[in-house]
Amino acid sequence: ASSVEEDADANRRAVRGARVVVVGVKPHMVPDLLREIAGDLDPGALVISVAAGVTIATFESLLPAHVAVLRSMPNTPSLVGRGVTGLA
Q: pLDDT tens digit string along 19-65? A: 999 999 999 999 999 999 999 999 999 999 999 899 999 999 999 99
Domain definitions of the chain by residue range: 10-87
The topology under which CATH files domain 10-87 is Rossmann fold (3.40.50)
Per-residue pLDDT, 82: 79
Is the predicted pLDDT of residue 4 greater than 60, yes or no?
no
Q: In this structure, what DSSP letter does residue 26 have?
A: -
Residue 70 CA to residue 56 CA, distance in Å, equals: 7
- When comparing pLDDT for 88 and 31, which is higher? 31
Terminal alpha carbon distance of the chain: 31
Per-residue pLDDT, 1: 56
DSSP-based three-state secondary structure for 8: coil
